[in-house]
Amino acid sequence: MTNERRVLVHPDKEALAASVAARFLTKTIDILDDLGAANIALTGGTMGIAVLEAVNGSPARDTIDWSKVHFWWGDERFVEKSSEERNERQAREALLDHLPVPPENIHPFPASDEIPDIEEAASVYAAELQAFAPEGQAFPKFDITFLGVGPDGHIASLFPDRAGIRETEATVIVERESPKPPPQRLSLTRPVLNASDRIWLVLSGSDKASALGLALAGASYTEVPVAGAKGRKRTVFFVDKDAAVDVPENLIAPSY
């Protein structure tokens, strides 16, 4: 089993979203052919949602049997269910509401008006993960995990020099004081994310260049969390030119 880290550079945000969407559709078909089902972990953010919108707009969207796909989230803002800040709501509006996905195949984190206590909400999501895990495991094997990257290098809601990025036992952590609003978050932990077969990081903009450069240069993942994102089979950084300015040439894969 190989563990590759590749950087694929695109000319702009639009081309980036379209390319990731096309690859996602193709890979999902392959996964369903091979395994009969797929577990996908989604992310929020500008590019994460742009990719979902591009998937929704693709002619290939309806070639997939979506009844065999389960959707999860890498993290969530702990706000009310109807809040526009929820990654779940944004993903539903961009893609999920347009697909024939059985409701039981969509696994959102609890909202603050569903389970007001954030610690209990974390426990509930951990139980949901375990309910769909192979026997003896604590969480399902994600086939593709999407991650965004913050200018500070955070992934999901695992921030630099916080307890969450160091957690190795729990599957879900609580972040009460996020450096970016809203302050309360729920997040999968690094071991869960890194158990994914494929981690796809999608980032654009010059404000992400430093974090990307540091990650690829071998920075400590506690200081630059994205440096610790490593899928079991493959880790791919899908970036635009602005985000790639600090990436060594030898790490940039040929375009496809």
Q: What is the C-alpha separation between 193 and 227, in angstroms, rounded?
A: 13
Q: Give the per-residue pLDDT at 172.
A: 98
Q: Could you tell me where the beta strands, DSSP code E, fall in the chain? A: 4-10, 38-42, 69-73, 75-77, 144-147, 172-175, 185-188, 198-203, 234-240
Q: What is the pTM of this model?
A: 0.96
pLDDT, tens only, 135-189: 999 999 999 999 999 999 999 999 999 999 999 999 999 999 999 999 999 999 9
Q: What is the C-alpha separation between 165 and 155, in angstroms, rounded?
A: 9
**Closest listed residue to residue 200, CA positions, set 255, 148, 242:** 148
For the chain, which ranges sit under pLDDT 50?
Answer: 1-2, 256
* Cβ neighbour number for residue 105 with a 10 Å cutoff: 20
Edge-first strand order for the sheet with 69-73 is 4-10, 234-240, 198-203, 144-147, 38-42, 69-73
- Written as six digits, the tokens of 130 are 């375990």
The overall longest dimension of the chain from CA atoms, in Å, is: 49
Q: What is the C-alpha separation between 235 and 33, in angstroms, rounded?
A: 21
**Cα-Cα end-to-end distance for the chain:** 23
Q: Give the per-residue pLDDT at 187.
A: 98
Structural domains in the chain, sorted by start: 10-229 (3.40.50.1360)
Q: Give the per-residue pLDDT at 3.
A: 61
Q: Could you tell me where the beta strands, DSSP code E, fall in 12-93? A: 38-42, 69-73, 75-77
**Closest listed residue to residue 49, CA positions, set 148, 150, 149:** 148
Sign of CA dihedral 86, 92, 95, 100: positive
Residues facing residue 200 across a β-bridge: 146, 236
Residue pair 53/95 in contact (Cβ under 8 Å)? The answer is yes
Q: Give the per-residue pLDDT at 256.
A: 42
Q: What is the C-alpha separation between 160 and 198, in angstroms, rounded?
A: 23
* Cβ neighbour number for residue 97 with a 10 Å cutoff: 11
